[in-house]
């Protein structure tokens, strides 16, 4: 599915190398996530790009800014933020490498480049705040060696027979 705001006609732009157009829009982005953060469904971000004609293609250079939501890596609480990413994409008549994208007729589809930039900029291990100390100790007590721990989860009983000491391997 193409985002209409990011499907840009470039026929007029390509008439002379060096021609430029500015693309400024607010758009939603779909399926942008990593293991710990994602762009919320329906959230819109801002796209600011300059398209410039080359003799055999078009470049798209600029920035994108999108909100994200995720789970704090220490306390596992909900956290949010905003990611800003740079975009540099080259569209060519003949695609000779993975670094260039094809034209779609007289159009360029900036959607994949914007999505890729956002996904690569999402935090892999977000924090709710810089001084987050982790889970609340009263809810998740630390068991100290030598004290009587809570009874183990019965699903882990099979592991109690495992021994890793080489002397016990006999």
Instruction: Find the angle CA(64)-CA(66)-CA(70) to the nearest 5 degrees.
Output: 140
Q: Which residue has the higher pLDDT, 123 or 142?
A: 123
Q: Using the predicted structure, report yes or no on whether residue 140 has a pLDDT greater than 80.
A: no
Contact between 81 and 68 under an 8 Å Cβ cutoff? The reply is: yes
The pLDDT assigned to 1 comes to 43
Give pLDDT tens digits for 91-119: 987 777 777 787 777 888 999 999 999 99
13-50 tens-digit pLDDT:
888 889 999 999 999 988 899 988 999 998 999 999 99
Domain boundaries in the chain?
4-121
- Judged against a pLDDT cut of 50, whether residue 9 lies above it is answered with yes
Q: Are 7 and 28 contacting, i.e. CB atoms less than 8 angstroms apart?
A: no
Between 121 and 98, name the one with better pLDDT.
121
Lowest mean pLDDT among 2-11, 12-21, 84-93, 161-170: 161-170
Q: Which helix (H) or strand (E) holds 112?
A: helix 111-121
What's the token pair of residue 67? 């909100």
| pLDDT of the residue at 152 | 65
Report pLDDT for 74: 87
User: Please, what's the b/e burial string for 32-54 (b: 16 or more CB within 10 A of its CB; e: otherwise)?
Assistant: bebebbbbeeeeebebebebbbe
């Amino acid at each position: 599915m193409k985002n209409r705001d990011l499907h840009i006609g470039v026929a007029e732009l390509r008439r002379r190398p060096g021609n430029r157009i500015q693309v400024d829009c607010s758009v939603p982005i779909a399926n942008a996530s990593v293991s710990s953060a994602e762009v919320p469904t329906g959230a819109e971000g801002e796209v600011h790009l300059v398209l410039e004609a080359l003799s055999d293609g078009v470049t798209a250079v600029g920035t994108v800014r999108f909100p994200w939501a995720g789970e704090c890596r220490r306390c596992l609480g909900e956290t949010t933020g905003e990611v800003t990413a740079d975009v540099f994409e080259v569209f060519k008549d003949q695609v000779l490498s993975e670094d260039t994208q094809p034209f779609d007729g007289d159009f360029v589809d900036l959607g994949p480049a914007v999505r890729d930039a956002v996904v690569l900029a999402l935090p892999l291990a977000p924090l709710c705040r810089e001084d987050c100390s982790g889970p609340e100790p009263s809810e998740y007590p630390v068991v100290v060696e030598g004290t009587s721990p809570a009874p183990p989860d019965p699903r882990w009983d099979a592991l109690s027979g495992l021994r890793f000491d080489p002397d016990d391997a006999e």
